[in-house]
Amino acid sequence: MTFPLLTVTAAVPAVGAVLTAAVPAKQRTAAKWLALLFSLATLALAVLVAVRFEPGGARYQLTESHAWIADFGVRYELGVDGIGVALIALTALLIPFVIGAGWNDADPLETNSSRWRPTQGFFALILMVEAMVVISFEATDVFLFYIFFEAMLIPMYFLIGGFGDRAHAGSDENAAAQRSYAAVKFLLYNLVGGLIMLAAVIGLYVVAGNFSLQEIAAARAAGTLDMATNTERLLFLGFFFAFAVKAPLWPLHTWLPNAMGEATAPVAVLITAVVDKVGTFAMLRFCLGLFPEASKWATPVILVLALISIVYGALLAVGQRDIKRLVAYASISHFGFIILGIFAMTSQGQSGATLYMVNHGISTAALMLVAGFLISRRGSRLIADYGGVQKVAPVLAGTFLIGGLATLSLPGLAPFVSEFLVLVGTFARYPVLGAIATIGIVLAALYTLVLYQRTMTGPVKEEVRTLPDLRPRELLVVAPLIALLIGLGVYPKVLTDIVNPAVQHTLSDVKKTDPKPEVAVEAKNGEAVK
C-alpha cells in the first residue's frame, strides 16, 4: 500500500489544531510554538508533494480512493494536478508567516485581565483552516470537496468575530459590534452560496450517478454521459455562484472589505491569500471540468463581471481612508484579473491566472502583514494618521514599499509575470476586454503610490515620532516573502513548469485551443497574406 501523502498533508495541521487547543490555558507560549511546529511540518509535506509530482505525468497524481458512503456514491478520493500542487504549496508556505505575524494578537489585552482571549484557540483555528483548505485543493470527489468548502467557514467565522484588530482596543463595544457584523456577513454570504451549490451537487448526482470528478470526465469523453443543455447550465450556475462569492467577484464581494477590515492583519491574510483562492481554484477544476459547454455559454457575462471587478475594486481602493480596506478593495480588483484569465480560455490566460493566485497570495501577505505591524504601533488604520514614517522606521517603510510595488505588478516582481500573462491571454481572444483591463494597472499604480506617499513620506507627524522599526521576529516574517517576490519575479519557470500541463488539460476539457496569431507574411507573388 502506498503512503497516503495527500491525506497526511491535510491531517497534520488538523492534528496540530486539536493538540494546540488542548494546551493548558496558562501555557500560551507553548501553544504558539506547537502551532508553529505543526505548520512547518505541513510545509515540509507540501514540499514533498511538489517534489514527488511529475509535471509531464498523469493529470492527477498521488491519488487515493476509498469507499466512504457507498449508498450515495460518495468516495474519499484525492489527487493533485499542477494547479493544486502550486496552491497547496502557497497555503503551507503562508501559514507559518501568519502564525509568526500573529504571535501576540490573541494575548490578553491587560495583565490579569478578566477579558481573557483564548490564545490557544486562535492558533488552533488557523491550523484547522489550513487543513480544510489543503484537502479542498486535493479532493477529486465533488461531495468531499463540498464538505470542506463549507466547513472552513466555521473556524473563519470565529477568527473574524472573536479576534479583532487591536486598533479598536479603546472602544470595546463598538469594536465588538463591528467584528460581529463582519463575521455574520461573511458567514451569511458564503452560506447562501454554499446552499445553492449543495442543490447543484445533488443535481449532479442525479444526472451522473456519482460524485467522482475523474469518472464523470471519463464518462463524458466516452459519450456515456449526455447532460441536457439546460441542466448543465443550471448546475454550472449553482457551482459558479458559490465560487464567485468565495472568490469574491462583483457584485458578491461586499463581505470582503468588512471581514478584512475587522480581522487582525494575519487573519486578513488568511482570508484573501488562502481561503479565497479555493473559489478561483474551483472554477478551474469543477466549473470547467464538469460543465465545459455551460462554461463557454457563460463566458461573456463572466468576463464582463471580471472587468467590473477590476475597475470597480481599483477605483474604490483609490478613495479609501482605511489602510486595510484599501488592500481589501485592491484584492477584489486582483481577483477580477484572475477570473478574467480563467475565462479567457487561453493557455497564457489560465497559466497567468494560476500564477496570479500564488503571487497575489505572497504579495498581499507581505503588504498586509507590514501594514498590520504599522497599525499595531500607532493604534489606527486611518491613512491620515500617518506621515513621515520612513524617517523613523526606514526598514518598515522599505518593506511596505516593496509589498506595494508588488501589488501594482512592477516588472521584476512576481505579480508582474502573472498579470502580463493574463493580459496576453485576454488580448489573444478578446482584445477590447484586454484593453479595458489595463485600466486596472493604471489605478493600481495610483492607489499604491498615493498610499505610500501619504503614510511614509512628508513631514513626520508627532504621533509617529516614537514608532519603532521592524523587530527581529517581524523581519523574520517579512524578509522571506520579499525574497520570494523577487525570486519568482526573476525566475517564474519553477512554477510555470508545474502549472502549464494542468492548464492544457483544462483547455482540453472545454475543447479550446489558443487562437492563432494573424501575422502578415509576404507571398511569392509579392502580395501580403495572413
For 144-198, how does the pLDDT look when each residue is reduced to its tens digit (9 = 90+)?
Answer: 999 999 999 999 999 998 887 666 544 566 777 788 888 899 999 999 999 999 9
Looking at the predicted structure, is the pLDDT value of residue 103 above 90?
Answer: no
What is the C-alpha end-to-end distance of the chain, expressed in Å?
A: 56
Looking at the predicted structure, is the pLDDT value of residue 110 above 60?
Answer: no
CB 341 within 8 A of CB 269: no
Q: Which grid coordinates are listed for 32? A: 504558539
Cα gap 344→12, rounded to integer Å: 37
Question: CA nearest 280: which of 234, 371, 343, 211?
Answer: 343
Q: Which grid coordinates are listed for 98? A: 501568519
Mean predicted confidence (pLDDT) in 339-363: 93
Q: Band of the pLDDT at 528, cuts 50, 70, 90?
A: low
> For 105, phi and psi rounded to 5 degrees?
-70, -25
CB 368 within 8 A of CB 281: no
Looking at the predicted structure, is the pLDDT value of residue 54 above 70?
Answer: yes
Cα gap 10→390, rounded to integer Å: 41
What pLDDT does 116 receive?
A: 42
Percent of the chain with pLDDT over 90: 62
For 243-282, how does the pLDDT look when each residue is reduced to its tens digit (9 = 90+)?
Answer: 999 989 999 889 999 899 888 899 999 999 999 999 999 9
CB 429 within 8 A of CB 345: yes
For 470-502, how does the pLDDT look when each residue is reduced to its tens digit (9 = 90+)?
Answer: 899 999 999 999 999 999 999 999 999 999 999
Classify the phi-psi angles of 77: left when phi > 0, otherwise alpha if psi is within -120 to 50, otherwise beta: beta
CB 242 within 8 A of CB 197: yes
Question: For residue 322, what are the domain limits?
Answer: 5-110+118-529
What pLDDT does 523 receive?
A: 52
**Largest Cα–Cα separation, the chain:** 91
Looking at the predicted structure, is the pLDDT value of residue 135 above 90?
Answer: yes
Domain count for the chain, please give it.
1
67 - beta bridge partners? 75
For 419-469, how does the pLDDT look when each residue is reduced to its tens digit (9 = 90+)?
Answer: 999 999 999 889 999 999 999 999 999 999 999 999 998 888 888 888 888
Of the candidate ranges 110-124, 281-295, 471-485, the one whose mean pLDDT is the lowest: 110-124
Q: Band of the pLDDT at 112, cuts 50, 70, 90?
A: very low
User: What pTM was estimated for this model as a whole?
Assistant: 0.90
What pLDDT does 298 receive?
A: 93
